[in-house]
Every structure is written in C-alpha cells, then in structure tokens.
Chains A and B, each alone.
Chain A
C-alpha cells in the first residue's frame, strides 16, 4: 500500500526534519499567524505541523495569498457580463473583444519591495504582472503603471521616484512591451510608503486560453526558468506587515532581483509551450513561490500534488525544504506537462536556453505532499491551503480627524490671495498636474508597432492588427478624494477611468483593481476599505464594467502612519473602429471649445488647496452616476459621428489646467485659447475646482450646434465657452470677476519644465 492510499484513512505522521526549529508559540507568531489560526491548522492537520508545514500554511494564509480581511467584501463587486471569459481567481481576467480575440489583463502591487529597494522592487513588479498575463496564453501588448510618492522636495522621495521609474522602464523596455500610460501622484500622504502598481494587457486567440490548474492525475509537474535561490523568502508574509524604520535594512533580503532577459525567454518559451499542446496548466511562481503555485493549481483542479524539493534546480547549496518552498526567486514557472510530453517541454525550453526539471506529479489523493530526496517532509490536505483560510469581517469606524477635515470651512480659500494667473501657473507646474514626460520618455512606448496613442493622453491606445479595433486602457484614483470620503472617492475613481476611455473613443468594458490600504486590523482603515469597495461596486454596476480580478495590498503603513486609501482602477475599453480614436488636444485654430457638464463650487480635495494652502480637506466633489453615464454616451456618440476634433476629461487642476493641456498638446506647437466663463461662482471655483462629470471638447464651428444638440439629447448640459486661438496668441480664460492671461511660452515652461527641473536636483537614499 502506498503512502497516498493510507493518507485517506489515517493521519500521516511526518517526523521532524533534523535541523528544523521546534514549533513554539513565538515561532507561530513570527509566521504572522494568530493563536486561533494556529489552532485551526492543527485541527486541519490532526496533529502539530512540522516547521515546513507551518511555513506553507503561513504563506498561503497570509493576507497576500489568502485575502483574509478582504474576501468577504470583495464578493460585493460585480464580476460577470456576457463578454467576461475569465473572472477573478485566475492569474488574470480575460474578456472577449470580438474577431476571435480575447484580452487578458491584470494589475498588481509591489509597494513594500519598492519602499525598500525602489529599482528592483518596481522592476520585479513589472516582471510578475507580465508573467500573470502570458501564463494565460496571451502575448503582453501593453504595460501601464500607477505610482504614488511623497512630496518631491525630499531628496529621499526623489531617490525613490527616480529608482521606481528606471525599474519600471528597464524591465518593460528589455522585454519589449510598450508602456502606454498610467498615472503618478505626489502627496505627503505617501511619504514613507510609495505605491507601485503595474498593469499588463495581453492579446490571444480565444482558443489559446489556458488556465493555471493541475488537472490530469499522473501528469508531471515541472519547474521552468530561473533557479531557486534564497531571495524573497516569505515575501508574501512581509507584504502583509507594516513597515518600520528597521524594515529597510532587515527586509532587503526579502526583495527579489529581476532578470528581464530571462523573462523575455520565458515569455517566448511559455507561449510556445502553450501552443504546442504539451502542457495542461502553467502558473508563475510569484508570491510564496512553489508553495502557492502548486497549491493553487491543485486547488483549482481539486487534485493533489507531490513534489520532491531535491529535484528543484537551486542556485545555492544546502537549501532546506522550507527555503525552497517559500523562495520568491523571480522568472520561474510551474508547468503541468501532459504525461509522456515531458520531452517536448524540454525541447522547447532548450531552444530558449532555459532549464526545466521534473519535480513531481499530480495526484488523486488531494494531498499537498513534499518530499526531500524521497523522505516526506510535509503532508497536508491541499484544499484548506487555498480555501480554508479564515476570512474576517471587521468593524469599521471613521477616524474623527478625517470627519473634521472633511467638514472644514473652505470659504476663505475661494478668495485668491493675489494674482489668479500666478496661482494658475503654480498649479500647472505642480508635479501632480505638470507633464509626466520626464517619466514616459524613459519607457519604450512604441515597440511592437501598434501604439496608436502614447502616454500623456487620457488613455493609451493599442490597435489590434488584422482587425478594425483598438483597445484603450487607463489607471485612475485620486487618493485624496478617497481619504476624505472613501465611498465617493472610489466612485470617482471608476467614473474618471470610464471618462478617460470615452474621451479616447472607447467603450468602457471591464476593470482590474488594485486596492492599496493601511492595516485592516485598525477600525478606521477597515472603514475606508469597506466604504471604498461599496462605492466601487455601485459605480461598476452603473457603468456595466465588471471586475475581472485584481490585487489587495494592505499594511501600507510606516511607523503607524497609513497611506491615503488608494483603490486604483485599471480599466480597459474597446474602440470599435480605429477611426474613432480621438485626441485630447486641440487640433485647429478657430475651432469652438465646448464644455459638457457643469462647473460647481466644489473645491474640496482639489490640487489648488494643496498647492496654495497645503490642505487636503473639504467634501470631495459629488459624482452623479446617471449624469456620468449620459455624458459618456453623449461623447461616444459625438466621436463616432465624427463631430469632434478633440475630447479631454476634466480632472486634477480643474477646468483651467484641462484647457492648458488641450492647448499645449505634445508641446511642439501649442494653440492659443480664448475662453469666457459666465458661471456665477467665485473665479477660484470656476477655474480650479475638480467638479466631476465634465469633458472639454473642440469641434469645427459648423459642428457646434450639432454637438450641443447631441449633448442636450442625452440630457447633458453643454455650452460653447470659447475658441481655439492661433500659435501667436495667448492663453486667456476669463471668469466672472477674475481672469488668467499668459503667453504660450510661460504656459509651456510651467507645464513641461516642472518635473525635469525638480529631478535635476540631487537625490539621496538617506532618510
């Protein structure tokens, strides 16, 4: 009788491995497990776990892998639609985009590693998300990055920012995937904890879709790609803790090192493996390495796995089973080869100069069994590793200081202290508004020759060769709005993402989200999380944009201070015909400028307050989902009927900054602007408030009447506010009792000069 058969009737005893530490309550606590959780593990095991087994449970039940504090709320998000092929739970979500093609996409965070080692932290973040996409059978076609840092007046923040940008750039550039957009924000709220989220889109023929499941009893498990080392051991657990002063030194060994060259080979080899038909499943060895990839693949198929760690190719001698199982060395995959096709797998891997090794097999007994040179070192039921993780719903209470900030009287700030033009140029030069060219000029944006809209616009656009279609993608979240009112802020994030897509001519289609929050065990953080998820759920339903996956990143705190709650929305949309692709900048002198939507006095949370008074306060602007929906439909209709020359979403910096962006374009040939705004509002509000539901469009003068009529037909307020001026004219925006007037050279300098000037000053890794 084999060990596998006896396992179903008796509890398999596994003797302690020589040299492994004894299980004590301190050791359990060090593994991030509560007493209750440990008891639960003992019940599942029917005995005390070995050190190796404890490590496996700790990783699988960490927040990062187990979603224990988020799972219940995440179930409130809409995940289904006729076009969704694969919803949450796989390496990436997949949607049907027609013409026989499917799009895989996903966003993921690498916040903690980037706080400790910005270059490698960010680079490996990109590597991980690429693998999530190509393991679905899709070729990566675009990257976006969503970044947050503290204020750039700190040399340390400049060091983090510069390092992250090079890391994101170098990795994607080397693999050869264009970066088509994203966002970056700077605010003291992210000082100790930068946010580094990377999103990837991949394209495949629908029939090439493969899932990460260990199906077919007797099939062979193979470790493919880089060798396993001691780097990143317990990264998943590390990601589930707060950072402290000591973290930087003590945690550095938990940050992995990226090798984009191996990644590129792995990408080509994986796609060739999938199309060869010799494998039944493939998964990245990401967080918690072999452990999570094997357990998750077994869990999805309802099977067991048996792995002999002595057969895993390692790059350091004397690695223990514990270390091999929990290593997060990069650029590795777990492949399930159909029995008898192992030779084919080897042949393909050899062509790409990569290693592949048979390390185990799929079993029928539902056990997660680990051997070391034939001797059992761990034997546990597989399903509880993925499905048995306890989930919690906690009490959430809003922090008093946030309520006070929100209810602050902002009336005095509506009266400008001095010149409006001066305030405007200051705002335009704020790193939150100014051109991000310094960043994306370090990213290859045109490789693969399909980028129709590069970074710098409302969304990035990739045409789909061989079809008439294109795909637009964007990432959005204003953390200040979410901080001041989590429910409203999350709704705004979804609405803005959809608006951005629509302005490029796309129909918003689906979402991947990256929920970056502080420590969920704190009541005020849990409150933020719950409210944000509820707001997101409402908005996703309103826009019919289901969530197909994503990532939760908790514990973004340093020395007890949490980041602003930052639920980043990564949204993709379909452009039915490439002729619908619409630019954000003005195209022709003499065109009319039309404002869709209404200006309001809602200055709360605006960049203007931060720049002029250092304030993050007030009620964030209200978002009316019905109005947003109508506005978006109206703009799409106008674009599809070729009524418009440009469309641009109104966001950070308000209407004045939006008009400046429309006028400046890529900076090569800016247009003048003559706009008169007759709103009965203080000029600060008219010009700088970040009221929702507004889009600035331009059109040939003989189309203006049509544009306004189309807007009215959709129930959207619209009015002509001015005209596009010549290249020799000025930027002139007049509000009731106040105006902005500046020449185009100053406008250009403020917008394009700001970030390079800041980043030419010295950086420092010192705190």
Chain B
C-alpha cells in the first residue's frame, strides 16, 4: 500500500473528519487573507489558523507514513498541545481587547501565564515523549485550555447584553468569533475527557465521537471565523 492509499484509508476510517477540518480552516485562512484588516488581532488569528492548518497537513501528509499508528496518535496529541497554546494566546489576545471587565482581564492575564508555565513544564520535562502518559497529559492540557476559554465567552455575552446595542449583532465580528469558540469549547470538553476511555474500551466509537465532538465543532468555529472576516470590520467590534 503506497503512502497516498494509506492516508486515504486513515481518512476514510475517520469519516474524513480531519479533511473537513482542514478544508474549513483553509477557507477561513483565504477569507482572512482577503478581507481581514491588517491589525494585530487579525494577524494573531490568521497565524493561529495557518499554524493549525500546517500541522494537520504535516501530520497526515507526511508523519503518518513514518510512525506506527500508536506513535502517530501520540504525536498528534503533542501537536494538539502546541495548537492549544497558539489557540489560547490568539483568543486571549482577542478577549483582552473586547472585554471591559478589569477583573476578568486581570484573571485572563494570570491564566495565560499559568497556561504558558504548564506548557513549558510539559514540553521541557518530556513526560515520556510519544508515550500514552504523554497523550493523557496532552489531552488534559486541551481540557484546561478549553475550560479557560469558556468563562471569557460568558463574560462577553453578559457585557454584550449589558452595553448599548448600537451595532447589529450579525454584523459584529466579535459575536461570531466568541460564539464559534464557545460552541467548540463546550462541545469538545467532553470529547477530550472521554477520548482515551473510548479509544481503550470502545475503540470502534472513537472515530464517530471525534467527528461529532471535535471535528464538527472546530469546523463550525472555522466557519464562524470566516463569517467574522467577512464582516469586513476590525475583529474586536
């Protein structure tokens, strides 16, 4: 079986979920490059999307062919940790710009430092690189990241209802971005929590779980980011 066939077989077994994620990310990247204003927040989001997209391509296009399935799965967990880090930095930068509550902003700055320290410890200590234990910690980091993203989303929604609603909600890029990340975070936390158990006890459900609880929500997040770019406004509005 050549490399291409091996990759197609893997994608097929996973309901092409990774391909769906990559396609929607690519659409978001292209839309962002065309329509996003060249401010810091847009650059952060584009950098995060491009980084995520490249990692998917490298993972499935190249690395899958050189690693055993188990090692590959653990390696994906490692790259997911790097994506989580980039994701949290991009979204926290964005949240710090749109949330008015000083206490929430202070808390986000602290959480950002805490998360960076966790990532640094995780990477520097190795924690048994490409082992199952490594994958568990990586998933835990994913859960922490998503949990850190939920409270600012709630604060944003609260402030949205509290402040004067001058701009139409559908024309606000920030509404689409926060709704996307909120949906993705809430739906994907259970997936991160049960992923290893499903893989161990009910491996045949793993692919459908991953599709429903991870790939579709993150694709919806990419669609909402695309919509935010299409608003042709500064993303923090």
Bound pair (A, B) = no
A-to-B contact residues, CB < 8 Å: none
